[in-house]
Chain A
Amino acid sequence: MSAEQVEPQGALTGLRVVELTSEPASFAGKLLADMGAEVIVVEPPAGSILRARPPFLGDVMGRERSLVWWHYNTSKLGVTLDLDLHEDRQRFRTLVESADVLIEAEPPRRLARLDLDYPHLRERKPDLVMVSITPFGRNDPQSEQASTDLTVLAAGGPVWSCGYDDHSLPPIRGWGNQGYNIASLYAVMGALIAILVRDERGIGQHVDVSMHAAANVTTEQATYTWLLVQQIVQRQTGRHAEAQRSLPTQALCSDGRWVNTGVPPRVRKEFVAVHDWLRELGLLEEFTDSVLLELGMERERLDLSKLGDDVEVQAIFAAGREAMMLIASKLPSYEFFQGAHARGMPVAIIYSPEEVFEDSHFRARGFQTPVEHPELGQTFLYPGAPIRFEGSPWRIRARAPLLGEHNEVVFGRRVGS
């Protein structure tokens, strides 16, 4: 028996997905592929737009060198088709017929013009699950307009809540094309729900994912504060946007890294722990509000529902926060992080992406995932599993495909042409 046969299969083994390459949907395809689905990404002959996205291997541009393409297309098979050509449209239809799911993020009218929209594809494959990601939903004319991750997050709410206490500075778009990521996560949910329905009832359907709607429902209390009490939250540096200002939570540690001081003490044992920590560090004298900490130690629990109107509760809560801020400012970030958690209080080092990648916990969990690039004779480390399936492992089966790498295997052998 070969190693291939005994290796446990991914959760989505047996599912075949066709993905028309795009920025918004590529993460959806990656998630499905790394979970075991056979995902065939279809590119135009000139290559996906993602291949033109920096950064590049060694900072040298090239269609096989984009790290963005590499990241978002792991475990996929890659084929090229020119959908403006009749013959390639035929191949595309045949390919879709062989698949369970089609995922795409084209402007809504483009596929209709090519007779490749859902009504046309469904005629030949009634149980097809087609997932479309658009900026505002398929029936909204605004989806024909140009958009990017930046405009999705600006119009959809996240940007309003992010930034600094100083409102002369612009609000901030978080990094990493998160507008696309969350749309892709919903696309995967939609695909899987529709597939479970298909498996049970034999029906296909069209899943319509709106990036604008996805951003709108990914803003936590900014939305429900408006829905319920019609108040508008205001952005604050490194912490929740609120209708009323709150205390700062980020502190600069002695090694120059910022930390988030987390949830301040709320119950007796936490006040005791912080008080003890101040004493151990010789900071009790420097900390001017230790009397308030002692008041916290006298109570079973601080009633946070009174935070709005009870001045004593406010003062004790603020003292707990201030104590954590003072301790953080005196210690190197890792020492603060470990010390706080050892005392049961959740705080965080504000890691850069490469720092979390190198952190011992993530290494121990096997997050660093070697991926071989045989044509380069090199192996690189990739981010690992977002979800650890103990019985059907997440796995990067192969690096992203070279342009047209699987044309022959897909069109030659598997579906015919």
Chain B
Amino acid sequence: MSSNALSHLRICDLTGQLAGAGATKILAAFGAQVIRVEDPVARGLWDILRSIGPFVDERRGVNLGGGFNNHNVEKLGITLNLRTERGQDLFRKLISVSDVVTENFAAGVLARRGFSYEQLKAIKRDIVYVSNCGFGQVGPYKEFKSWGPVAQAICGLTFSAGLPDLPPAGWGYSYMDHGGAYFMAVAILAAIFHRNRTGEGQWVDLSCTEAGATLTGPAILDYTVNGRPQRREGMPHSNRSQYGEMVPHGIYPARGEDRWVAIACRDDDDWRALCNALQEPWASHPDYATLAGRRAAEDEIDRRLAEWTREREAGSVAALLRMDQIPAAAVRRPDERIDGDPSTRAWGLWPVVKHSEIGEVRVEGLPLHLSQTDWEMERGAPCLGEHNERVYGEILGLSRAEMDELAAEGTI
């Protein structure tokens, strides 16, 4: 059973990678009919994730990329050569029966193929067109290409993650590809709400770097209002609380190799509870009873606390402190939070989907549940052109002979 929440929505989807495909994955899981349109000449490899690992076995190929499968569950996939006139005709047909067109090519690519927003609108008056690229479709850098690590570096997120006097630690993955996908999903849904209410479609120009720059809002206001830049002595120090509102607040060593535990004292009550749990004479220093006192001694408190945690298991420190309502958590490895964590399993966060070539395989689910119309994930990502018959035949009404001819001439 697939979800029926968005079953009335059809998305003509030219996205790829994570920043784009991750958005339409969410809508597909809620039942939107997402039709991936891929280039038969390049064998769909504009989306490089199609053919890169991890792979479940020794087989390789454009249908077997593990990340691609994860980001494209529940979608349909067709091939269509937009360089040809017949290909463009078919594309126009598909747009005319779609609600949304999505893409995350470099700026201007789709327009140069003859499908600018104005042209899309001429085909389908109320079409919602969401483009998503690193720097957006207008502005001095519109021609600049981007990918996750570039987007998050430009927008301030890489700089702000790290310790003082060291190079930026940044994000150890394409956080802004996730972020771009989330904003893109929001953009599609909001534009559909607007269309349903007003009858008007629109173009949405999403720029991952711009979206990312809204995720450090208080730092920007501290600059524009107080004139205090984040690039300054002693910054960043991102394991600490953002502006000293919580002390102690950090990631401390635990027993074992590369084991760590995060602890945050939100207020003086948390600190008193921590003192009781620690049973250490140093912690009862009267100056430490107030936030101001703890801030003045933050280095010393961090050092002493680390000495205490170092002797103990991360999980038991966290459990002990959480019993007293002090925020604490072991830094969990992938194996621990996926296979070793009853709560992610109970949530249904790792569903098994069936992929036509890979077979049964686990993927990432979604972190929200709707009580009446929840998401479902059963089908893996589409193989290249897997749903040509269904889409060209059932949706666009082409005959078998027409499809054979289009395939033979390389249009689909």
Which residue of the partner chain, among A72, A142, A231, A387, contacts B187 with CB atoms under 8 Å?
A387
Indicate if the CB atoms of B211 and A386 lie closer than 8 Å: yes
Does B110 touch A at the CB level, under 8 Å?
no
User: CB-CB contacts of A158-174 with B at 8 A, as 1s and 0s?
Assistant: 11111110010111111
Indicate if the CB atoms of A160 and B331 lie closer than 8 Å: yes
| Between-chain CB contacts (< 8 Å), 28 pairs | A13-B194, A55-B226, A148-B264, A150-B251, A154-B251, A158-B171, A160-B333, A162-B170, A175-B160, A183-B367, A193-B5, A193-B373, A196-B189, A196-B193, A206-B370, A208-B370, A220-B67, A223-B338, A227-B364, A228-B54, A352-B159, A354-B220, A354-B224, A357-B213, A365-B136, A365-B139, A387-B204, A388-B207
User: CB-CB contacts of A231-275 with B at 8 A, as 1s and 0s?
Assistant: 111011111110000000110100000111011000000000000
Which residue of the partner chain, among B140, B178, B186, B250, contacts A220 with CB atoms under 8 Å?
B178
Indicate if the CB atoms of A237 and B169 lie closer than 8 Å: yes
Which residue of the partner chain, among B173, B203, B223, B250, contacts A354 with CB atoms under 8 Å?
B223
Which residue of the partner chain, among A192, A209, A240, contacts B186 with CB atoms under 8 Å?
A192
Indicate if the CB atoms of A176 and B329 lie closer than 8 Å: no
Which residue of the partner chain, among B145, B155, B196, B337, contacts A351 with CB atoms under 8 Å?
B155
Indicate if the CB atoms of A356 and B167 lie closer than 8 Å: no
Tell me the nearest residue of chain B to A378, going by C-beta: B225
Which residues in window 32-61 of B have CB below 8 A to A?
51-56, 60
Query: Is chain A's binding surface mostly helix, strand, loop or mixed?
Result: mixed
Indicate if the CB atoms of B327 and A148 lie closer than 8 Å: yes
Indicate if the CB atoms of B167 and A258 lie closer than 8 Å: yes
List 20 extra interface pairs beyond A15-B193, A205-B371, A232-B333, CB under 8 A: A139-B346, A148-B249, A150-B241, A159-B331, A175-B219, A176-B160, A194-B373, A213-B367, A216-B364, A218-B178, A220-B67, A227-B362, A249-B149, A250-B170, A349-B153, A354-B156, A380-B224, A386-B211, A388-B210, A389-B204
Which residues in window 56-100 of A have CB below 8 A to B?
57-59, 67-68, 70-72
Which residues in window 177-200 of A have CB below 8 A to B?
177-178, 181-183, 185-190, 192-197, 199-200
Indicate if the CB atoms of A151 and B156 lie closer than 8 Å: no
Indicate if the CB atoms of B372 and A205 lie closer than 8 Å: yes
Cβ of B8: which chain A residues have Cβ within 8 Å of it? Answer: 200
Cβ of B380: which chain A residues have Cβ within 8 Å of it? Answer: none
Which residues in window 139-154 of B have CB below 8 A to A?
139-141, 143-151, 153-154
Cβ of A209: which chain B residues have Cβ within 8 Å of it? Answer: 367-368
Which residue of the partner chain, among A67, A164, A388, contacts B225 with CB atoms under 8 Å?
A67
Does A404 touch B at the CB level, under 8 Å?
no
B225 CB, min distance to chain A CBs, angstroms = 5
CA distance A77 to B170 in the complex (A): 36
CA distance A353 to B159 in the complex (A): 8
One of B230-238, B281-289, B388-396, B400-408 contacting the partner = B230-238
Check A222/B262 contact, CB under 8 A, given A195-B193, A213-B347, A357-B220: no
Which residues in window 314-347 of A have CB below 8 A to B?
341, 344-347
Interface size on B, residues (CB 8 A): 155
CA distance A389 to B190 in the complex (A): 9
Does A295 touch B at the CB level, under 8 Å?
no
A interface residue count range (under 10 / 10 to 19 / 20 to 34 / 35 or more) = 35 or more
Point out which of A227, A249, A260, A353 has the most chain B C-beta atoms below 10 A from its C-beta: A353
CA distance A392 to B179 in the complex (A): 22
Does A5 touch B at the CB level, under 8 Å?
no
Indicate if the CB atoms of A150 and B135 lie closer than 8 Å: no
Indicate if the CB atoms of A353 and B262 lie closer than 8 Å: no
Which residue of the partner chain, among A167, A193, A341, contacts B189 with CB atoms under 8 Å?
A193
One of B80-88, B89-97, B252-260 contacting the partner = B252-260
Does B177 touch A at the CB level, under 8 Å?
yes
Which residue of the partner chain, among A11, A197, A227, A305, contacts B52 with CB atoms under 8 Å?
A305
Does A287 touch B at the CB level, under 8 Å?
no
Tell me the nearest residue of chain B to A250, going by C-beta: B167
Indicate if the CB atoms of A382 and B220 lie closer than 8 Å: yes
Indicate if the CB atoms of B220 and A155 lie closer than 8 Å: no
Which residue of the partner chain, among B214, B241, B337, contacts A216 with CB atoms under 8 Å?
B337
Does A12 touch B at the CB level, under 8 Å?
yes
Cβ of A155: which chain B residues have Cβ within 8 Å of it? Answer: 262, 329-332, 337
Which residue of the partner chain, among A147, A174, A225, contacts B327 with CB atoms under 8 Å?
A147
Indicate if the CB atoms of B242 and A177 lie closer than 8 Å: yes
CA distance A69 to B151 in the complex (A): 27
Cβ of B11: which chain A residues have Cβ within 8 Å of it? Answer: none
Cβ of B305: which chain A residues have Cβ within 8 Å of it? Answer: none
